[in-house]
Copies of this chain bind each other. A is one copy, B any other.
Amino acid sequence: MTRNDIAGAISGAVRHTGQRMPVIGRLLRRKGKARGAAPGTVVHTGLRRIDRVRLRWFEYDNSVVHEHTGDTYDRLTRTEPALDVTWLDVTGLHDTDMLSRIGQDAGIHPLVREDIGSVGQRAKLEEYGDDAVYIVLRMLTLEPGHDVIAEEQVSLYLTPRFVISFQEAEGDVFDPVRQRIRDGKGQLRGRGADYLAYALIDAIVDSYFGVLESLGEHIDALEQEVVTAPDRETVRRVYAVKRELLVMRRAVWPLRDVLNAMVRDPSRCISAETRVFLRDAYDHTVQVMDTVETLRDIVSGLMDIYLSSVSNRMNEVMKVLTIIATMFIPLTFLVGVYGMNFERMPELGWWWAYPSLWVIMLAIAGGMLAFFRRKGWL
């Protein structure tokens, strides 16, 4: 178990508690192999999030659909792929032996096998030969009420008739796709493996909108807070949202390139009809990216408001102090004068001296107040 495993496990453990999570654990879950090890070694760098690996085996064409579920690899491979599209849906990446065997049976390049298990990668597209494409995606989830985006790596291995998907944990993002395969409604069953891959990518891009909505609501609340009742926690909350936007940006930005490459570059794996749909997913990604950037601008603006609000309040504090102090300090001096014990102070004997002093002092105080009012401090 490498240092990364431990870091990953720790960061994963605190993820759902809403606690502050170390930056490094989230940004740096790197390549799985031990440092300096030979490339192609399969190591799992993430957290074992589920107890058993779960395998789902879909095989379908326009009229027929077979579905098998299991938790060991051997049982599933007995099925012979004969229909148009086969989807092997692997959930849980900690059984590296099983991943190795699946990889070898499917003829996956050693580097891809290494990548599947190392869960901190950027979205990317890699072509291997003419008819295999390996796609890494980042699935993001932000439960309402939580502050921290949970990231999960999803890998797709796509050949002309075959899709293998690798997920870290059980999630409901792919459930609608599974249901559409079972129902046979829509065009999913009538199209090829490339359309299935598109459907999975689209499901993930769709999930980004949910995260954006949660972040947006959070920012709206923060904006309200900054304007009405900022306290010392506010700046930390602004900073935390900023960091989540950085995480989101890191996840989405490379996806744009991936989808652009899928739309533009000719490849045997992806048909022209599917490209039209991928273009649509690309548009959505650009829209997400765009919104992330706008939210970043908005959050920066929040920081400005916060700082100016702090300045304003210090200004107000200063004004109160200044008004009170400058009004009473001269008066205190005056009463001090007539508290002196000089033998020869003629004023002390004048019988109207005391009331006159009050009049004078009230005049001074009134003059001060007028001065402050003219300055606009009252």
Interface on A for B, CB 8 Å cutoff? Answer: 3, 7, 22-24, 27-28, 30-31, 35-40, 109, 111, 115, 120-122, 124, 126, 128, 173, 175-177, 180, 185-188, 202-203, 206-207, 209-210, 212-213, 215-217, 219-220, 223, 227, 232, 235-236, 239, 242-243, 246, 250, 276-277, 279-280, 283-284, 286-287, 290-291, 294-295, 297-298, 301, 303-322, 324-326, 328-333, 335-345, 347-349, 351, 353-354, 357, 375, 377
Contacts and interface: CB of A to CB of B under 8 A. Distances in A.
Contacts of A284: 30-31
Contacts of A304: 235, 239, 303
Nearest to A36: B176
A28 B212 contact: yes
Q: Which of A173, A212, A277, A331 has the most CB of B within 10 A?
A: A331
Contact of A38 (B180, B232, B290): B180
30 contacts: A22-B220, A23-B298, A24-B217, A27-B291, A28-B291, A31-B209, A36-B177, A37-B176, A38-B186, A38-B188, A39-B280, A111-B276, A122-B283, A122-B286, A128-B276, A246-B297, A310-B315, A317-B322, A318-B321, A320-B375, A321-B326, A325-B326, A328-B333, A332-B332, A335-B336, A335-B337, A336-B339, A340-B341, A340-B357, A343-B348
B344 A341 contact: no
A207 B325 CA distance: 56
Q: What are the 7 tightest A-B residue pairs by CB atom distance, in nearest-first order?
A: A24-B216, A36-B176, A38-B186, A335-B336, A338-B340, A324-B326, A321-B322
B24 A220 contact: yes
Given A121-B287, A311-B310, A341-B338, A35 B206 contact: yes
Contact of A243 (B126, B128, B301): B301
A167 to B, nearest CB: 15
Contacts of A279: 126
Given A28-B291, A124-B283, A280-B111, A342 B354 contact: yes
A3 B144 CA distance: 14
Contacts of A342: 338, 347-348, 353-354, 357
Given A27-B216, A128-B276, A290-B122, A206 B36 contact: yes
